Amino acid sequence: MMKKSFNRMNNYLSMVKFSHTVFAMPFALIGFFIAVRLTEAELNYVTFILVILCMIFARNAAMAFNRYADKEIDGKNPRTALREIPAGIIKARSALPFVIINVILFFIATYFINRLTFRLSPIAVLIILGYSFTKKFTSLSHLVLGLGLSLAPIGAYLAVTGRFNIIPVLYSLVVLFWVGGFDIIYSLQDEKFDKSLQLKSIPAVIGKKKAMWVSNIFHLLTAGFIITPGLIAHLGAYYWTGSAIFLILLTYQHFLVKPNDLSRINLAFFTTNGIASIIFALFTILDLYIG
């Protein structure tokens, strides 16, 4: 019985790609600790745990809903046909309650943070769930995905302070264009499939070579938005070291993937971006406390 429950839990964690929390979670931590250090707010461990829970519940809901909404598309695509729902590992009717439970838990967590985060939580849910439909009518779906993840730093900042500030907004813009850029790279492998179903990814609309240029532009904007808060907040050597490593890894993934060679796309998408976000967050937080 215990083994069956453990396997079932692993199936759900696999469905939502729980390991991919390394993309947005580090930026939530940045938003949280910047709020604590730059506003001299109290380091509240309960709020910290609630922020972590919000990230987990929101991402679980978003990924599970995406798998539910795309179950027919995933079943037709050879690359995604073995995902949990099209493969029959998780029933579609079981995935939807999982989404609802995580949305409710997300609302509860925001309620116990502060009034502003609770009032804004329905907007966050609409964005992260609405992404699943955007590829059917706009090639800007990559930026909608980035927008959903970009809520992490500003949401964490609001959790601590209950008010807006330009610094977390800039980090949200970092996430917006960083994620949008690497999602374009990842979607290169589905260019022909997306065209066949008239799905509007940027590679399907303008081709692989031009799509790579769009990704380059997005990541140049990412670099600008990483540099700006460092200057505004007068951050030190640790921050600039972390920024340099992040941007080097960001550049490296563009050398890993070519329009005619996608063999290393998983290395570029998962490994490089995951390491980059963790290192950047670590050095930023170090700078805030010992820089």
On whether residue 175 sits in a domain, the answer given is yes
Q: What is the amino acid identity at position 271?
A: T
Q: According to the model, what pLDDT value does residue 7 have?
A: 65
Q: According to the model, what pLDDT value does residue 259 have?
A: 87
On whether residue 4 sits in a domain, the answer given is no
Q: How many domains does the chain have?
A: 1
Task: Mark out the alpha helices in 77-140 (DSSP H runs).
Answer: 92-111, 115-134
On whether residue 117 sits in a domain, the answer given is yes
Q: According to the model, what pLDDT value does residue 199 have?
A: 93
Nearest to 147 by CA among 162, 130, 133, 166: 130
Q: Which residues of the chain have pLDDT under 50?
A: none
On whether residue 249 sits in a domain, the answer given is yes
Report d(CA 113, CA 118) in Å as an integer. Answer: 8
On whether residue 3 sits in a domain, the answer given is no
Nearest to 249 by CA among 264, 269, 235, 225: 269
On whether residue 230 sits in a domain, the answer given is yes
Non-local CB neighbours of 257 within 8 Å, separated by 6+ positions: 185, 188, 212, 264, 265, 268
Helix (H, G, I), strand (E, B), or coil: what is residue 261?
strand
Express each pLDDT in 107-130 by its tens digit. Answer: 999 999 999 999 999 999 999 999
Q: According to the model, what pLDDT value does residue 3 have?
A: 54
Asked if 279 and 246 touch (Cβ cutoff 8 Å), the reply is: yes
On whether residue 255 sits in a domain, the answer given is yes
Q: According to the model, what pLDDT value does residue 281 have?
A: 97
Report d(CA 274, CA 277) in Å as an integer. Answer: 5
On whether residue 132 sits in a domain, the answer given is yes
- Domain of 45, CATH number, reads 1.10.357.140
**pTM over the 0.75 mark:** yes
Look at the block and give the residue holding tokens 């990842």. 186
Domain with 90, as residue range(s), is 23-290
Q: According to the model, what pLDDT value does residue 291 have?
A: 72
Q: According to the model, what pLDDT value does residue 268 have?
A: 80
Express each pLDDT in 170-229 by its tens digit. Answer: 999 999 999 999 999 999 999 999 999 999 999 999 999 999 999 999 999 999 999 999
